[in-house]
Each structure stands twice: as structure tokens, then as C-alpha cells.
């Protein structure tokens, strides 16, 4: 497939301007909040152990009721796991791309949510599952009913007849995502399929969403498909955010003609390795999406995170969706053996690093969870169960990020990285911030080479310090200082 050359380094920014200033919040709809407005359902009790096939009953009306909590964190954008009609609690098995699942409140709930979010200054990004559909998708269901006579036989990759969508003892006879016959793969070479999927993208953009997170987009191995997808989406809203789920190298999709950014798992693994290196639950990670993680010291971490800032063009790096965990991994807190100090250190780094930080729902109040489905627990709305220290830190860090241009768009430079101590500088024109992190089990004095001489206030503790390259700064065990000039 012919690829469009990357734009030169001096080309104008190609990413939405708002994203570098954004803080995202990821919601798994079935487990976030239940409004009680959707009735007549057989549901698990809220907070029961998550199950692959059972429903907890969270809905979009419930999200609307909890927008004050989300906005109160300082969050400015919400990324939703799939919301379209489906016969699965995660809704990656799409039945109807034009209908929000009735269990979530239907199209009316999504439209009300978009309006309510926008009224609070919150963007809304939806999950687009365009590589595959489901056995319940009408066009595939027609294949099951009509066989070779189906009008939609070319919409999928059929090897032979009859199709076997449920009998695991026989070949499925059609292509499916990773061989999962519940997820028949679209034939995106077919013009009708291409138009169908592009039209879906346009429809929801016109309904007011602010972008798309694209599920396994690398499996639609066709640059022209994504180039046209981008053209259509951006024609409706030039500031729409297109972010792909690419776990490895993403240069192919980040040349300026396809995606704006990707989910930055290059950020995730080093944060587990350094901040959580002393308590990593290796068997847990090996069962999770992140896989095996070896511990890093500060020098290796600082070098790796510098490399990550240099992987792509600066405007793309500033738009990367940085995350500590997601619906596809164990929650960070559980992956590091329940060490809350490791999560708080990683959270501090997340909010002070280059790119758009994303909080997975519940992390802000200490919600644990192992690999899928345990990482998709119901949000505990009883505040007595919340980790108030982590919640307060989340709010303070987000407020500092919003108030400090250097934390949103400044350069990243490691000043000191040795043992368990890390000091780095974020700098943008007249704005700068110094972040000193101590991952050791005892208090440390960290050196400050090349720190601009000034009086600084630690926004996390309220303490003030006179800093210069000749001095050190005291940092308590397993904590950090976010130092801004007074």
C-alpha cells in the first residue's frame, strides 16, 4: 500500500490545539454509575465481582449525574469505551453503530450527555470499533440466515460454507478478530463497507462528539482507509481528536495524514518499572496487557522517558494520550502490589510529563483491580471507601497543570537521575517548573544542576525553597515536589 510521506519538521501543527491542554478521564460505561432510569434488567448488584458476561448496569444518565465529580477533578475531556448497541458488557461486539445501547439510555442519553459535558467545558471522545462487528450485526446476521445468497456476503471474509458462529468444534469458515468467532472481521476492501464505516464516523461527529479513539486500527492494514477517515472527520470538525490504539511503533499512522496521536503505552511500562519497581507483582503483569516488566533505576527511566519525548514530532508528542492503566491492563495500584505511594509518584509524573494525561475511572480514589475483567470494577460511590489522599493529590496536580503553561507544552529535560532520585525541568518561554522525585524508602537530598535560580513553592506541600544549581532540595521518602517559581 502506498504511503503518504511524513510532513517536514517545520510544517504547521497537525494536532488539535486543545489536546495538549487537556486532562482525560476514561470511563467503562457499564461500571461507572447506575442512574436507575433504565429498568427491567437482570443485573449484578453494584460492586459485585466483575464477570465477563454479566452486567452491572452503569448507564450514560448515571454519567451525567456524576459530571460534577469528573469536572471537580479538573478533567477537561472524557474518553468512553464503546457505547453502541451490543450483547456484551464491554460493547466491543457492535450490533448497531447508529444506536447507543438501550441499557446505556439510548441515543437520547448520549445527546444529553454531550450537551451536559459541553456545558461544563468537557470534550467527549467515543471508542470506534471499525475492524470487526459482531454475530448480532445485521449484515452478518443476514449471512447466517441466507448463507451464500446473502446480499452482504462480500462485507466479510468468508472462507467456505456453512458458517459456524457458535460451534467451537468446527472451523468458523470466516475471518474473525484473533480467531474469536464472536467478532467477524469486516472486509474493508469492499467499497460499501468503507462507506458504511466512514458514514458512521461522520454521523457521530455531526451529533457533536469531539473525536474518536480507534480500537485495533492497525488491523485495518490500509493507509488509504484511515486517510479518508481523517479527511471526513476533520471536514466536520478540524479540531476533532483522532487517537489510535497502537501499542508499538506508530510512525506509520502519525505522519499527519491519519491519526493525531496514539495511546502511549511507551509511557506506561517505564512508569511501572521505576515507581513500582520495588513492589511489582510480576505474575499479575504477565497476565495483563502490559506483560512482563523489569524494574528500572532513575537513570534508565530518565533516559527512556527522554527517548519517548523524541519518538515523534513535537506537536504529536504533546497530543499523545498518556496512561498508567486502562480497561485492557491491570490497574496500576494492583500491578505494583497495592503500593499507593508508587501510584502517587506515577500520577505526579503523569501530570507533569509531556502529552495529554488520562486517568482511568476510579484510580483517583484508589480503586484496585487485576487483569480483565477485574480492572473493570464498579465505581464505589460510598465516599467512605475512597482514598482521600490520592483524590486530593489528583486535584492538586491537575490544578497545577492547568495553571502552568510549561507543564502543558514545555520542553522536558532530565537534570538528575541516579539511584531512586529523579529531577527534571519543564520549560516554556517565561514559564518553567522543577519536579523532584524520590522513589527511595528514606528521605533524600536531591541535587539541582541547571535549575534556574529563584524562590520556588512546592504546590504539593506549600513549602518554599530558595533554589539554585549549588543547592539540593529535601524530598521525603516515596514522594515528590512540584516546584514553581513564586
The answer for residues whose C-beta is within 8 angstroms of residue 377's C-beta and 6 or more apart is 31, 47, 50, 362, 367, 368, 369
Domains of the chain and any CATH numbers: 19-405 (3.20.20.80), 408-485 (2.60.40.1180)
Share of the chain above pLDDT 70, in %: 97
Catalytic residue among 30, 210, 215, 315: 215
Closest by CA to 194, choosing from 162, 225, 234, is 225
Q: What is the pLDDT of residues 304-335, one digit of tens each?
A: 999 999 999 999 999 999 999 999 999 999 99
Q: What is the pLDDT of residues 356-371, one digit of tens each?
A: 999 999 999 999 999 9
Please confirm, yes or no, whether 215 is among the known catalytic residues. yes
Q: What is the pLDDT of residues 272-290, one digit of tens each?
A: 999 999 999 999 889 998 9
**Both ends of the chain: CA-CA distance in Å?**
54
Residue 2 has pLDDT above 70, yes or no: no
Residue 12 has a pLDDT of: 55
Please confirm, yes or no, whether 245 is among the known catalytic residues. yes
Long-range CB pairs of 384-391, under 8 A, 24+ apart, other chains included: 387/340, 389/340, 389/344, 390/340, 390/343, 390/344, 390/347, 390/363, 390/364, 390/365, 390/366, 391/364, 391/365, 391/366
Is residue 241 within 8 Å of residue 263, measured between CB atoms? no
Prediction pTM value: 0.96
What is the distance of C-alpha 351 from the center of its chain? 14
Residue 289 has a pLDDT of: 87
Catalytic residue among 30, 245, 315, 458: 245
Is residue 340 within 8 Å of residue 386, measured between CB atoms? no
Give the confidence band of 296 by pLDDT, cuts at 50, 70, 90.
Answer: very high
Residue 463 has pLDDT above 50, yes or no: yes
Amino acid at each position: 500500500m502506498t504511503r503518504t510521506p511524513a510532513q517536514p519538521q517545520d510544517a504547521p501543527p497537525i494536532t488539535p490545539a486543545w489536546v495538549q491542554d487537556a486532562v482525560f478521564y476514561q470511563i467503562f460505561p457499564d461500571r461507572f454509575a447506575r442512574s436507575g432510569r433504565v429498568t427491567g434488567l437482570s443485573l449484578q448488584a453494584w460492586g459485585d465481582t466483575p464477570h465477563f458476561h454479566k452486567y452491572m448496569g452503569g448507564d450514560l444518565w448515571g454519567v451525567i449525574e456524576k459530571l460534577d465529580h469528573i469536572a471537580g477533578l479538573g478533567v477537561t475531556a472524557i474518553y468512553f469505551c464503546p457505547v453502541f448497541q451490543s450483547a456484551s458488557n464491554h460493547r466491543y461486539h457492535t450490533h448497531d453503530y447508529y444506536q447507543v445501547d438501550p441499557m446505556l439510555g439510548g441515543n437520547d442519553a448520549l445527546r444529553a450527555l454531550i450537551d451536559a459535558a459541553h456545558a461544563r467545558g468537557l470534550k467527549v471522545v467515543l471508542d470506534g470499533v471499525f475492524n470487526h462487528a459482531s454475530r448480532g450485526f445485521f449484515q452478518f446476521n443476514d449471512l447466517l440466515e441466507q448463507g451464500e445468497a446473502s446480499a452482504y456476503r462480500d462485507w466479510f471474509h468468508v472462507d467456505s460454507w456453512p458458517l459456524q458462529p457458535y460451534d467451537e468444534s468446527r472451523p468458523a469458515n470466516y475471518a474473525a478478530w484473533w480467531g474469536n468467532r464472536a467478532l467477524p472481521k469486516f472486509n474493508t476492501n469492499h467499497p460499501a463497507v468503507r462507506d458504511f464505516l466512514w458514514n458512521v464516523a461522520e454521523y457521530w461527529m455531526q451529533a457533536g462528539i469531539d473525536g474518536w479513539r480507534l480500537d485495533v486500527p492497525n488491523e485495518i492494514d490500509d493507509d488509504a482507509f484511515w486517510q479518508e477517515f481523517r479527511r471526513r472527520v476533520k471536514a466536520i470538525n478540524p479540531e476533532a481528536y483522532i487517537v489510535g490504539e497502537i501499542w508499538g511503533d506508530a510512525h506509520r499512522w502519525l505522519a499527519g495524514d491519519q491519526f493525531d496521536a496514539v495511546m502511549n503505552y511507551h509511557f506506561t511500562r517505564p512508569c511501572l518499572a521505576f515507581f513500582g519497581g520495588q513492589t511489582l507483582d510480576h505474575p499479575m503483569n504477565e497476565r495483563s496487557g502490559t506483560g512482563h516488566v523489569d524494574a528500572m533505576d532513575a537513570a534508565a527511566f530518565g533516559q527512556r522517558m527522554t527517548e519517548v519525548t523524541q519518538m515523534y514530532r513535537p506537536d504529536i508528542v504533546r497530543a499523545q494520550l498518556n496512561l498508567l492503566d486502562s480497561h485492557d491492563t491491570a490497574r496500576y495500584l494492583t500491578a505494583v502490589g497495592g503500593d499507593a505511594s508508587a501510584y502517587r509518584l506515577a500520577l505526579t509524573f503523569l501530570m507533569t510529563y509531556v502529552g495529554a494525561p488520562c486517568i482511568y475511572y476510579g484510580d483517583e480514589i484508589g480503586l484496585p483491580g487485576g487483569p480483565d475483567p477485574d480492572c473493570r470494577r464498579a465505581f464505589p460511590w460510598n465516599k467512605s471507601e475512597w482514598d482521600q489522599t490520592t483524590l486530593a493529590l489528583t486535584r492538586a496536580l491537575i490544578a497545577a497543570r492547568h495553571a502552568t503553561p510549561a507543564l502543558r507544552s514545555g520542553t522536558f529535560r532530565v537534570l538528575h537521575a541516579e539511584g531512586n532520585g529523579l529531577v527534571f525541568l519543564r520549560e516554556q518561554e517565561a514559564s518553567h517548573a522543577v519536579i523532584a522525585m524520590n522513589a527511595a524508602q528514606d528521605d533524600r537530598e536531591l541535587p539541582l544542576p541547571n535549575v534556574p535560580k529563584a524562590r520556588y513553592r512546592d504546590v504539593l506541600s506549600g513549602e518554599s525553597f530558595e533554589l539554585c544549581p549549588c543547592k539540593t532540595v529535601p524530598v521525603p521518602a516515596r514522594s515528590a515536589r512540584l516546584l514553581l517559581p513564586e
